[in-house]
Amino acid sequence: MIGSHWIADLSGCDPEFLKDEAALNRLLENAIAASNATILKSVSHKFGGEGGVTGLFLLSESHASYHSYPELNYIALDIFTCGDCDPRRSGDHLLAAFQPIASHVNFLRRDVPRVFSGKLVAR
């Protein structure tokens, strides 16, 4: 297995929190630390007016990102890690912090498809 990918759609979140760029970045930093990943760089952008925030964290182990939509009380989250990191730990941290009314969470194992004699081999 190459890595693990935690993807979540959270709705019913506090719209004021979803507009707070500094608070969202601190939360993601803490969540990333919970999975034992290492942040190499980060960048975020607050959209004008009542708009949301988008943020991206380049990790030694891959990446994490978020996109908030305060007008919809919604945030999209994506954490992909490889090695010994477990993005589900980050996810648990984020779910506890956002306390969404509804959530849709996917957890994927990422791996290289195996090819033998030019044909894809199932695992």
Residues with a catalytic annotation lie at: 62, 67, 82
CB 28 within 8 A of CB 47: no
Separation of alpha carbons 97 and 27, rounded Å? 8
Q: Which two tokens stand for residue 102?
A: 């509804």
The half-sphere exposure of 94 on its side-chain side, counting CA atoms within 13 A, is: 31
Angle ∠(28,59,55) on CA atoms, nearest 5: 45
The number of CA neighbours under 13 Å toward the Cβ of 54 is 2
